[in-house]
Structure 1
């Protein structure tokens, strides 16, 4: 089973989901072309397979292992890639390949965007979160002590390649975490995603049990993102809807020192913003409650610990959607009807927190 989704815009590219992902990677090789293969810890075998495919087509691959998860998205790790690119003499005609989860593809993409002001990048996401979110859309970046993804660039890949077998071998907790981004797409644009998950939550959380369902959920989520980024690459307006639940989620990640899985934080963020929209009179109680229900059904967290409001409020003030001192949230005004809430009252902000962090 394979599926290919086209991402339009000024720099169109394909997202290909299928067992022939590595074969397609070989199309980006050329005699003498240098290729930096950035790969996360634990994906050494796949990185070597990719390097063999590239070398067979005449390219000169260079393996660049990086730490797993968010620990890869730091200035020292990025600087190490710059050093390697310089030592190996990479030019603008060369290529970067990212292999791993969302953090690795974010890092590889930013290394490509910043080297010589931009070289091509092909992303090979190996996690559910990576393929439905981080690797698609061209947003790249690293974290700082002040917040997540505050340093980065928009740099679309020339192709995204994912073998569903890679995501199927993820630890269950990581796969389920990635479902938060899939479910987010269901709320903002494609309610069929919610129907599929609710019909059989067990199958939705186990890609080996129903590969067809897994492929359909991934393809639908990718299609949602592809449609949005084709119309708004640089997040000037429409693309903000993809940040549904992320203002609170990024604050949680920062307060927790990036020890939380991104999808787990997004799940709690979805519940928080649904509570906030309900209190602002924008969202009815039934749809607010559906957030908790579908997330609970797949085993995602829907609550956070009390006593951290002041830290979270400060972190939300640094969110990319904030304008001056005014907080801005992507909210729902109905199913698949995203909107924006600007400057909610401090009372509503705190009350929504109390709803997700009872204590």
Structure 2
């Protein structure tokens, strides 16, 4: 499911409040799959996310509308939009969906761009968009340093926050299996038919994970691992949301390469899940923000990006279990600690370059 709020039909937040309507009602609908739902049912202001975070002050004179294409988590999108609208006279229209659906929409609109601002869940997808030349070179204002490597070499996008891929385990569905500590543990017969993985054709993060494994271990070792996993009945299905749903329901025991923030959100709701960061390493994907070169409201778009990278905006990301882009931001206590996470690679541009070809080999080998 994707949701488009038309710039012509959208009820502005201020009008909605006056009518007693829930702000940005369309945003309360979840995109298909729990990975896209951060677990927040209502928007709150940025200052409520972390009372110690410095409140952002908007430039004067911001008005009009912004079309914001956002790869979820939904609750995080809602909170950021709500806080920004409260501080400005700008109404934000949101098209919400998975990265693939957003990039498909961008491609379809290439001759008549509609998006002012784009947030993606994949570095590789942002690199492909950068090659179109459709996005503005822009460096967001921050009150601290953005993590090393999270600003693109092309200058037109920066990772706003990030997520790690993990083994997401339903502890109530383990049965006789021991808690896994690394990727290869899932090849144990105790996990026969109990493992599910997002499809790299639908999940950019899954594609990047496979590419990072090939980068670290080489193709022979990587394909040997997947040969064992598929021989043990690992299933590949859908994007990140459906994979986590299968494990949360107990029909599967483990997500291979599950997105951490979705699992943390589910744990907070009481689901019997555990997030295991594999000992041999994983990927942390910075989620990039881009501003359209053709935006009709660049001042507002740039201000919104600056808000996202402000202490207040970064605190909202952290509250939603994301890894903040600005290292000085205090991360959520129940989220992934970036500094202690073993990474398969830090070469994000290299991942972007090789992701398509490695994914094609994976699909030909296992899914054709």
**Which structure shows the bigger proportion of residues in helix conformation?**
1
Return the TM-score normalized by structure 1.
0.34
TM-score by length of 2: 0.33
Structure scoring higher RCO (CA < 8 A, sep ≥ 6) equals 2
